[in-house]
């Protein structure tokens, strides 16, 4: 059997709904762009490019000046977005507001990021490949590692923090396996409601994360072998591109 490729997003797809995983990963059905996701991409791009500037110039003004050109680049890649947005001014105003919130939560003039969009990868087993892209990874002069992920939505409700942190724990696991260093801090920056979720990972947590990934990989393998993909209805269905063809709704 060919190597199974896993990432935090693929794992979440399967955990949320096995049939979604099939439609998106196995069948590779086309999906309409999500405006929330595209807004997130735009803000991520600006924050990534902000660090190309000297530290003293990493300001709100620089970020907002980057916004129009990065939006035009995004439109060139996905021209269909133009017809999906009723007001470009409101679209850019919302992105500007999210960027301004970032500066309320972090001061990018006082540190140098070590990596941006860092690709981490590892073979968990001969037939399981795991990888992911980290928004930002900072290594302090004293060696401590901080993994940061930007979110343009709102922070999780009480009780859902662990699920939100799973993605960063996967990144921490990958970094630990590659560098033999456990990151000191995992940090989710939520621009949607000006909040920050932090966690200090332990070796026990990362081992548990790996065990969880192995169990999910086994479940995916069984689903592929038996061609059994059970839909799982939830509130997420309202945002699913495949709701119209899903047997759970038809």
Residues composing the chain: 250
Using a 10 angstrom Cβ sphere, with 0-12 exposed, 13-18 middle and 19 or more buried, the burial of residue 108 is: buried
125-151 tens-digit pLDDT: 999 999 999 999 999 999 999 999 999
From its phi and psi, is residue 117 left (phi > 0), alpha (psi between -120 and 50) or beta? left
Which residue stretches of the chain are H helix? 8-16, 18-21, 35-50, 60-77, 81-84, 88-105, 161-179, 203-226
Confidence category of residue 33, pLDDT binned at 50, 70, 90: confident
Residue at token pair 């994360």: 209
53-66 tens-digit pLDDT: 999 999 999 999 99
Residue at token pair 């017809």: 83
Q: Domains of the chain (ranges plus CATH)?
A: 1-245 (3.90.320.10)
Average pLDDT over residues 153-162: 92
Average pLDDT over residues 182-198: 97
């Amino acid at each position: 059997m060919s190597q199974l490729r896993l990432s935090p997003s693929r794992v979440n797809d399967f955990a949320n709904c096995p049939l979604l995983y099939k439609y998106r990963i196995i069948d590779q059905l086309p999906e309409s762009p999500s405006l929330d996701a595209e807004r997130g991409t735009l803000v991520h791009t600006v924050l990534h490019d902000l660090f190309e500037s000297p530290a003293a110039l990493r300001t709100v003004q620089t970020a907002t000046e980057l916004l129009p050109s990065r939006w035009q680049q995004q439109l060139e890649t996905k021209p269909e977005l133009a017809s999906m947005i009723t007001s470009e001014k409101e679209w850019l105003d919302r992105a500007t507001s999210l960027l301004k919130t970032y500066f309320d939560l972090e001061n990018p003039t006082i540190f140098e990021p070590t990596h941006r969009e860092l690709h981490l990868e590892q073979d968990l087993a001969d037939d399981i490949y795991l990888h992911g892209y980290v928004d930002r990874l900072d290594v302090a002069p004293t060696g401590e590692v901080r993994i940061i992920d930007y979110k343009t939505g709102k922070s999780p409700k009480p009780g859902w923090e662990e699920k939100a942190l799973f993605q960063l724990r996967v990144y921490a696991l990958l970094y630990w396996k590659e560098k033999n260093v456990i990151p000191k801090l995992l940090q989710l920056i939520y621009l949607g409601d000006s909040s920050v979720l932090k966690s200090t990972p332990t070796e026990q947590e990362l081992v548990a994360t790996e065990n969880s990934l192995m169990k999910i990989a086994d479940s995916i393998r069984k689903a592929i072998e038996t061609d059994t993909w059970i839909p799982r209805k939830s509130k997420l269905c309202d945002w699913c591109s495949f709701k119209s063809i899903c047997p759970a709704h038809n």
